[in-house]
Amino acid sequence: MTSKLFKKYAEVYKNTLLKDVIPFWEMHSLDQVNGGYYTCLNRQGVVYDTDKFVWLQGRQAWVFSMLYNKLESKQDWFEISKLGVDFLLKHARSPSGDFYFALNAAGDPLIKPYNIFSDCFAAMALSQYAKAAKNDNIRAVAVEIYRNILSRRSNPKGVFNKHTTTRPLKDFALSMILSNLVLEMEDVLSRKEVDETLDVCITEVMGTFLNEETGLILEYVSEEGSFVDCFEGRLINPGHGLEAMWFMLDIGVRRNDQDLIQKAILVMLSILEFGWDQQHGGLFYFMDLKGHPPQQLEWDQKLWWVHSESLVALAKAFSLSKDQAIWDWYQKVHSYTWGHFPDPEYGEWYGYLNRQGKPHLSLKGGKWKGCFHLPRALFQCWQIFEKLAIDSK
């Protein structure tokens, strides 16, 4: 492993981000009439549905603010972020203060605020945009949203919770997202708020939801934190687990917590061993802890975000550990990902492959895929490999 090799990887990520992925969304997704972004884009980038999903609006606004703040103060990037932030502030918040899940093109509500991740990514976008715009009012709104999210933690879906009290379960996803959200918002929160949230997130991610026997992250546990032998209780989402581990690595670096870093790397290796498709390559979307048939019919698909987040996790883990096993896995995942997801003809990446690695859907964006996981992963990996190249000279 040489500086030249790391520089080569850095260039691949940089060029794909700045010459392929970001231009694709700049060209095809902007709604200059109503504000916000179209995310339902076909293979060529043509809009095939004009509904707007609030969490994807927040995610894309965050991406362009982040690039403006961390990479280059390009006015176009600022204006693209503003297009989404203005749309969110004008249309996306319900009278209760929670964020709708979906709006029509004009911003009228379509789906009620059942999903707290709309709020999470609105807060993330507003905090990053407030930094770019130097706007204290928007910063205050971001903090208000964040605190509202914390107040809903014990029952994120509120009246929209479909489960009865017979088998109450805790969901991993919110603890995972908060692990990253609180670091994203560190500049606008008090030190006490940040540390308290991080303490809880570490306890839940690396304790409550970590199955010590297997080293895997569970998607659901009982309210007391114990394993529940049912469909939800056995559910493993390798992508969620790997994404959460790079959040834990970031926290470990911030706190200089070597034990947390080492534990996260071990969990990462367990997830990769369990989640890798030995027959066709790639990481499964869903798996059952005990090997039973998963209830998700799409369980064996290979998804863009799972592999994007895996590359970030592995690149971060290698930069911190220089461990050969991590490097071997990085190369394995990199080879599969870059060999299957990019679309050299029309740009950007396919989101959904079948088990054999062929495009299952040709779309570049939809209800769940937008401008977020891929550009974030490309930016993160570019920065990591660029630093590795410099450090290894």
Domain with CATH 1.50.10.20 in the chain: 30-162
Nearest to 105 by CA among 173, 175, 53: 53
Provide the pLDDT for residue 158: 83
Question: Between β-strands 109-111 and 169-171, what pairing exists: parallel, antiparallel or unpaired?
Answer: unpaired
Q: Which of 89-93, 156-160, 259-263 has the lowest mean pLDDT?
A: 156-160
Distances 155 to 44, 115, 124, 162, 222 between C-alpha atoms, Å: 40, 11, 21, 11, 13
CATH (residue range 170-353): 1.50.10.10
Question: Above 90 in pLDDT, residue 97?
Answer: yes
What pLDDT is stored for residue 192 in this prediction?
96
In a 10 Å sphere around its CB, with 0-12 CB exposed, 13-18 middle and 19+ buried, how is residue 73 labelled? exposed
Per-residue confidence (pLDDT) for residue 154, from 0 to 100: 84
pLDDT in tens, 296-327: 999 999 999 999 999 999 999 999 999 999 99
pLDDT of residue 235: 98
- Taking each helix axis as running N to C, give the angle between helix 172-184 and helix 136-151, from 0 to 180 degrees, rounded to the nearest 10: 160
Query: What is the overall mean pLDDT for the chain?
Result: 97
- Across residues 289-293, what is the average pLDDT? 98
- pLDDT of 160: 81
Statement: residue 157 has pLDDT above 90? no
Range 237-253 average pLDDT? 98
User: What are the percentages of helix, strand and coil residues in the chain, rounded to 5?
Assistant: 55, 10, 35
- Please report the pLDDT score of residue 298 as a whole number: 98
DSSP letter for 204, please. Answer: I
> Whole-angstrom Cα distance, residue 319 to residue 44?
36
Q: Name the CA dihedral angle for 116, 120, 126, 128, rounded to a multiple of 10 degrees.
A: -170
Question: What pLDDT score was predicted for residue 159?
Answer: 78
CA distance 271 to 268: 5
> Span 131-150, mean pLDDT?
97
Residue pair 184/127 in contact by the 8 Å Cβ criterion: yes
Task: Calculate what percentage of the chain has a pLDDT beyond 90.
Answer: 96
Global pTM reads 0.97
Q: How confident is the model at residue 151 (pLDDT cuts 50, 70, 90)?
A: very high
**pLDDT by residue (tens digit) across 201-222?**
999 999 999 999 999 999 999 9
- Above 80 in pLDDT, residue 1? no
CATH architecture of 30-162: Alpha/alpha barrel (1.50)
Please give the pLDDT value at position 162: 79
Q: What's the pLDDT tens digit per position in 170-180?
A: 999 999 999 99
At residue 221, the pLDDT reads: 97
What is the per-residue pLDDT for 163?
A: 81
Provide the pLDDT for residue 79: 98
- Element containing residue 38 per DSSP (H, E): none
* For range 241-255, the mean pLDDT: 98
Per-residue confidence (pLDDT) for residue 264, from 0 to 100: 98
Q: What is the pLDDT of residues 38-65, one digit of tens each?
A: 999 999 999 999 999 999 999 999 999 9
Categorize the per-residue pLDDT at 346 as very low, low, confident or very high, splitting at 50, 70 and 90. Answer: very high
Which ranges in the chain are annotated with CATH 1.50.10.10? 170-353
| Tokens standing for residue 282 | 């790639």
Residue type, 13: Y
Q: How much is the average pLDDT of 141-154?
A: 95
pLDDT bucket at 232, cuts 50 / 70 / 90? very high
